[in-house]
Structure 1
Amino acid sequence: MRARVAAAAGSAFALALALGACSKNTGTKTDVDTERKTTGVIATDPKDSLGPAPEVPGAAKGGTFTILRETQISHLDPQRVYSFAGLMAAPLYARYLTTWKDDGKGKLTLVGDLAETPGTNVNNDCKVWEFKIKDGLKFEDGRPITSKEIAYGIARSFNPDLTGGPTYIQEWLADSAQYDTVWDFKANKGSLPPGLTTPDDKTLRFEFKTAHCDLPFAASLPATAPLPPDKDTGVNVDNQPFASGPYKVTKVTPGVEVVLERNDQWDAKTDPVRHQYPDKFVWSFGTTPDAQANRMVADNGPDQSAVAFNTVPASLISRVLGDAALKSRSLLAPTPSANRLTINTQRVTDLKVRQALNYAIDRDGLIKALGGEAAASPLTTLLPPATLGFEKYDAYPAGPNGNPEKAKELLGGKEVPLVLAVRDDDLNQRLGTQLKNNLEKAGFKITVKTTPADSYLDDVKSKNNAWDIYLDAWAADWPSGAAVLPVLFDGRGIKASGNSNTSYVNNDAINAEFDRVLAMDPAAQAPEWAKLDKKIMEEVAPAVPLYVDVSFNLHGSKAGGVFIESIFGNVSFVNAFVKQ
């Protein structure tokens, strides 16, 4: 995970990439506009990082805002948060070194959150960074947040028991993908990892052996959330995270609900992004996507101030798009989330078999199973279109429905058995059936293994998982090939668990290419990532690119302020309110 994206924060950073705007509701067909340019900057003026956040038009205080989701959130511990639901929930109760201002319309600004700015590149070489911590920050019990608690939060991310979260900063500090062997958190619990210091209560300092110009971006992830050492209960932080944001977790009933209530120690004047409009947020688990959509359509009682976190299911898309009355309660936007059929190259060692999977895939059938163009858009590349320097190509051209005969030719007439792992929720069960039927027409024998959705991510990230192929999704942590290709396909960081490289590829030539491109000036990297995308697919074929998600969510008539955020393409709650 060695991503380099932009120039240092000492100068303004700007990017432009194609991201879809919200679609117009034109009946059962929707045309997603992908021509809009999304722009982003790093704020260099400390005033941009000050609060309070601008008031949301029409917003009012009070009420309970409910979020319906089929399965529970994998992790609430900020150092372990990396799922879409977790990334949307965490800003309610946790703050980070930096964060994004997102207007929901294509304008992004990276600002200081706990820090006064998105960081200072001390020597202009991206090896030494300092963050000055804001005044007036407090935890939920009233004690002040200083650089010490932020540093401890980062240090505990070295704990091998706390798997699942991003590992950028750990790897950079250790100068090794095997960061937890370089610095043993448990043996050094009273100290900090090498390169991380707190010269005083207001200063956090990073010193890297090599340049990392993208630290301000990595610092926007939940792994930089603060935690006092006396509140570190290890894996049990998942059940009781300690709040630094506008809400605090007051109840966790596994598999049922998570309740958040106002944190009276949060000061809006320190926060440039978040609000504290509802009295309470309730994440409610166990409702299927169909039931969520039907409840939003019915718009009764407490559901009027709720949002369906799962997207509108395929069976209801036509009905929802055809109902003009639902237009004002619909969120419809393309996302940067790229879905692929990951191939476990430790088990599927024959390149021809991996190439045959690419020729066999019926993307059109998958997209129809998802609900059509309001749910997904086909993808033949590892990088999604919302990436700087993106170039469209198809290494295994087989048309929208695949080429079973070409796949059989590569398989040499043999029936190849493969184990396909799928989550146990309705959508993934349907996709699993579609994939099994599709691939068996092309010469494969597919055994479907169902696994609980809330443990699926941890399972596929385990090096010794017992599966050959499985559905994966990746939304880059910022819009660059550097935040996709090395993260997913650099094999030098493979460990027993917690892997993002779930193809388990470790190719010396590809690894060398990662090093070459990452050493380039960030402005020159974009076209090189596009070339490397194609090289990986042609020479390794570690996955089958499938589709980019389109987010289509419904909310109740009294749920205000929600939008599809631009980094991960899911429903944001930083502006949410209950209409009074």
Structure 2
Amino acid sequence: MRPRVAAAASGAIALVVALGACTKNTDDGPVVDNNRKQTGVIATDPKDSQGPAAEVEGAQKGGTFSIIRETPISHLDPQRTYSFAGLMANPLFARYLTTWKDDGKGGLVLVGDLAETPGTNVNNDCKVWEFKIKDGVKFEDGSAITSKEIAYGIARSFDPDLPGGPTYIQEWLADSPQFDTRWDFKKNKTGLPPGLTTPDAKTLRFEFAKPRCDLPFAVSLPTTAPLKPEMDTGVNLDQKPFSSGPYKVAKHQVGVQLTLDRNPNWDPKTDPVRHQYPDQFVWTFGPTADAANNRVIADNGADQSALAWNFVPASLVAKVAGDANLKSRTILSPTPSANQLVINTQRVTDLKVRQALNYAIDRDGLIKTIGGSTVAAPLTTLMPPATIGYKAYDAYPAGASGDIDKAKELLGGQTPQLVLGASDDSEEQEMATQIKSNLEKAGFKITIRNIPDDAKLDEIKKKNNPWDLYIGNWAADWPSGASILPVLYDGRSIKAEGNSNQSYFNDPAINAEFDRILAMAPADQGPEWGKLDERIMKEHAPVVPLYVDVAYVVHGSKAGGVFISSVFGYPSFVNAHVKQ
């Protein structure tokens, strides 16, 4: 993602985008707030970046807060973190240069986290940025966090053996999508990538070949989590990250349970966002979405202070929506998270086949399979409605349930045999089964191949993966078309592994359009992204847009402070507490 919305030389920006049209109230069940406005500003007052975070009303210290999730978190190593679960778990034990103050209602303020402010645009040209590091920020062992440890964290993100995380900063410093070939981390472990320097222990400096006005946003991602070189265990850092946040890894039984205890060396006076209310956070992996939600609904024992990470599944939507006693224990929120049936265009090269897939898809049936309007709303565009520049269109109008006849017409008697790679978690298995049945009515022959859920993200990011189709999900890191279309469809970024362009789509004319739009004034980009969105779908059809997520979460009666992240659309735990 390459968001380009930071415009003013002072570093202050304001974004406004509607989050409407997520779902409609079609029955007497709960209603999503369709009139919500999502706003984002970069803080200009240094006081906004100071701690402590405002106290949460009614919150007290103590207790164990539990999160029950079906499958393990793919990566805990901050530099490798890019899954939703990872992005929500990481802030408990990792801090970044900047972070978001989020009111849970769409209101966002970007503030300094490890940095005193969201950054200084030194020459007012967005090519040179400096961040001053706060006093009093420490690792779990009590040692000070300086610019050098933050720089080392960024440097190790260049290691090709540690793929999976965001790549903005690496690409910008290298001035190339092939960043790991421009600077070799293994040969330069005591050095830093070109353009990254630490003039002193308090200062981190970035120098870019091109303007990067959105750097304050990019450094809010886990790439900038600090690490002491002597604590770098390489791929094993996934098992036990070294904490800079309010909690630290106390015990990690991989694939079973992750226990986080308080970090006594975290200073709330330095942190504008996080709290340290629970004694422990415990992530438990294994129970299906049905089992986890039923446990939390039952509200017994330790589950009273638990949250079911997996959204309320289809089998339980009616039960949860119809129980008035559960209303105070559910969260229903729109999200900026879009889902697609991603087409591997290296393997599915016939445009008519890709267009036929778009005509054949039964969005209504798919949404009913996963739970209905409290779970998802249909999408026919590449960008979700919660995006600056969003343009509503339907390149392949087939109605809510698809146009099988039109799909067959495009196939012209062909029976394409396609392999659908699907995560082995229960929800995606249900989706894959529905999609297979749906597409085979149009003449496709679909074979489902299972992928372990905790490995899927890494596997589909491999250029030579063996699947023709897979279910993809994308939530922009900021509400801009620039953080969606270039990162997902710029073919120049394709490499052997770690690809966000998972359709492996590469068209020189579209790549040129990315450059053209990104060179425009940020205020002028929005409509151009909308036009390009429609052009990509009409001319190339690299995916089948499916739906936008609606978050429907249930928690125990003693679980407090949880809200749905306005950035990523999943539960945030920075305010979580156990009601006493």
Normalization by structure 1: what TM-score? 0.98
8 Å CA contact 2:23–2:376 kept in 1: the answer is no
Counterpart of 1:230, as a letter, is E
Number of the residue aligned with 2:163: 163
Matches of 1:252 and 1:21 in 2, distance apart?
A: 41
Matches of 1:336 and 1:38 in 2, distance apart?
A: 10
Counterpart of 2:176, as a letter, is S
Q: What is the Cα deviation at residue 159 of structure 1? A: 0.3
> What are structure 2's unaligned runs of at least 5 residues?
none
Matches of 1:448 and 1:24 in 2, distance apart?
A: 32
Number of the residue aligned with 1:94: 94
8 Å CA contact 1:97–1:118 kept in 2: the answer is yes
Number of the residue aligned with 2:335: 335
Matches of 1:380 and 1:22 in 2, distance apart?
A: 13
Residue range with higher mean Cα deviation, 323-332 or 16-25: 16-25
Matches of 2:41 and 2:261 in 1, distance apart?
A: 33
Q: What is the Cα deviation at residue 307 of structure 1? A: 0.4
Residue range with higher mean Cα deviation, 340-349 or 249-258: 249-258
Helix, strand or coil: the match of 1:188?
Answer: coil
8 Å CA contact 1:8–1:126 kept in 2: the answer is no
Number of the residue aligned with 1:35: 35
Number of the residue aligned with 2:523: 523
Matched, 1:136 2:136: yes
Matches of 1:301 and 1:463 in 2, distance apart?
A: 47
Number of the residue aligned with 2:219: 219
Counterpart of 1:74, as a letter, is S
8 Å CA contact 1:383–1:390 kept in 2: the answer is yes
Matches of 1:140 and 1:295 in 2, distance apart?
A: 33
Matches of 1:571 and 1:9 in 2, distance apart?
A: 34
Q: How does 1:219-238 map to 2 (within 5 A)?
A: 219-238=219-238
Helix, strand or coil: the match of 1:186?
Answer: coil
Helix, strand or coil: the match of 2:193?
Answer: coil
Helix, strand or coil: the match of 2:551?
Answer: strand
8 Å CA contact 2:565–2:571 kept in 1: the answer is yes
Number of the residue aligned with 1:296: 296
Q: How does 1:490-569 map to 2 (within 5 A)?
A: 490-569=490-569
Matches of 1:578 and 1:549 in 2, distance apart?
A: 27
Q: What is the Cα deviation at residue 3 of structure 1? A: 3.1
8 Å CA contact 1:296–1:307 kept in 2: the answer is yes
**Kindly tell me: are residues 322 and 26 of structure 1, through their superposed partners in 2, closer, same or farther at Cα, counting changes over 3 Å?**
farther
Q: How does 1:145-294 map to 2 (within 5 A)?
A: 145-294=145-294
Q: What is the Cα deviation at residue 391 of structure 1? A: 1.1
Matches of 2:108 and 2:328 in 1, distance apart?
A: 24
Matches of 2:541 and 2:24 in 1, distance apart?
A: 37
What CA deviation, in whole Å up to 9, does each residue of 1:361-385 have, x standing for no partner?
0000000001100000000000000
Matched, 1:126 2:126: yes
Matches of 2:328 and 2:382 in 1, distance apart?
A: 34
Number of the residue aligned with 1:418: 418
Helix, strand or coil: the match of 2:209?
Answer: coil
Counterpart of 2:106, as a letter, is G
Number of the residue aligned with 2:352: 352
Helix, strand or coil: the match of 1:269?
Answer: helix
Number of the residue aligned with 2:468: 468
8 Å CA contact 2:20–2:34 kept in 1: the answer is yes
Matched, 1:578 2:567: no
What CA deviation, in whole Å up to 9, does each residue of 1:525-574 have, x standing for no partner?
11110000001001111000000000001000000000111000000000
Q: Quote the RMSD (CA, aligned, Å).
A: 1.3
Helix, strand or coil: the match of 2:187?
Answer: helix
8 Å CA contact 2:15–2:40 kept in 1: the answer is yes
What CA deviation, in whole Å up to 9, does each residue of 1:172-207 have, x standing for no partner?
000000000000000111100000000000000000
Matches of 1:558 and 1:32 in 2, distance apart?
A: 24
Q: What is the Cα deviation at residue 26 of structure 1? A: 9.8
8 Å CA contact 1:418–1:446 kept in 2: the answer is yes
8 Å CA contact 1:137–1:267 kept in 2: the answer is yes
8 Å CA contact 2:22–2:376 kept in 1: the answer is no
Matches of 2:99 and 2:392 in 1, distance apart?
A: 31
Helix, strand or coil: the match of 1:87?
Answer: helix
Matches of 2:24 and 2:361 in 1, distance apart?
A: 30
Counterpart of 1:221, as a letter, is L
8 Å CA contact 1:27–1:321 kept in 2: the answer is no
Helix, strand or coil: the match of 2:389?
Answer: coil
Matches of 1:396 and 1:203 in 2, distance apart?
A: 52
Q: What is the Cα deviation at residue 245 of structure 1? A: 0.3
Matches of 1:240 and 1:446 in 2, distance apart?
A: 40
Counterpart of 2:372, as a letter, is G
Number of the residue aligned with 1:51: 51
Counterpart of 2:212, as a letter, is H
Counterpart of 1:314, as a letter, is A
Matches of 2:438 and 2:9 in 1, distance apart?
A: 48
Q: What is the Cα deviation at residue 252 of structure 1? A: 1.0
8 Å CA contact 1:97–1:225 kept in 2: the answer is yes
Q: What is the Cα deviation at residue 297 of structure 1? A: 1.2
**Kindly tell me: are residues 544 and 410 of structure 1, through their superposed partners in 2, closer, same or farther at Cα, counting changes over 3 Å?**
same
Matched, 1:403 2:403: yes
Matches of 1:502 and 1:475 in 2, distance apart?
A: 14
Q: What is the Cα deviation at residue 24 of structure 1? A: 11
What CA deviation, in whole Å up to 9, does each residue of 1:95-117 have, x standing for no partner?
00000000112211000000000
Q: What is the Cα deviation at residue 251 of structure 1? A: 1.0
8 Å CA contact 1:306–1:555 kept in 2: the answer is yes
What CA deviation, in whole Å up to 9, does each residue of 1:482-530 have, x standing for no partner?
1000000001011111100000011000000000000011111111100
Matches of 1:14 and 1:47 in 2, distance apart?
A: 18
Counterpart of 2:522, as a letter, is P
Q: What is the Cα deviation at residue 8 of structure 1? A: 4.6
Counterpart of 2:360, as a letter, is A
Counterpart of 2:505, as a letter, is V
Helix, strand or coil: the match of 1:454?
Answer: helix
Counterpart of 1:332, as a letter, is L
Counterpart of 1:121, as a letter, is N
Counterpart of 2:181, as a letter, is T
Counterpart of 1:488, as a letter, is L
Matches of 1:21 and 1:269 in 2, distance apart?
A: 40
Counterpart of 1:472, as a letter, is G
Matches of 1:26 and 1:390 in 2, distance apart?
A: 25
8 Å CA contact 2:21–2:385 kept in 1: the answer is no
Matches of 2:31 and 2:96 in 1, distance apart?
A: 36
Q: How does 1:17-36 map to 2 (within 5 A)?
A: 17-19=17-19, 29-36=29-36
> What are structure 1's unaligned runs of at least 5 residues?
none
Counterpart of 1:356, as a letter, is A
8 Å CA contact 2:22–2:34 kept in 1: the answer is no
Matches of 1:29 and 1:398 in 2, distance apart?
A: 28
**Kindly tell me: are residues 366 and 488 of structure 1, through their superposed partners in 2, closer, same or farther at Cα, counting changes over 3 Å?**
same
Q: What is the Cα deviation at residue 5 of structure 1? A: 2.0
Q: What is the Cα deviation at residue 35 of structure 1? A: 2.0
What CA deviation, in whole Å up to 9, does each residue of 1:467-495 have, x standing for no partner?
00010000001110010000000010111
Matches of 2:338 and 2:346 in 1, distance apart?
A: 23
Helix, strand or coil: the match of 1:513?
Answer: helix
- The number of aligned residues is 580
Counterpart of 2:380, as a letter, is T
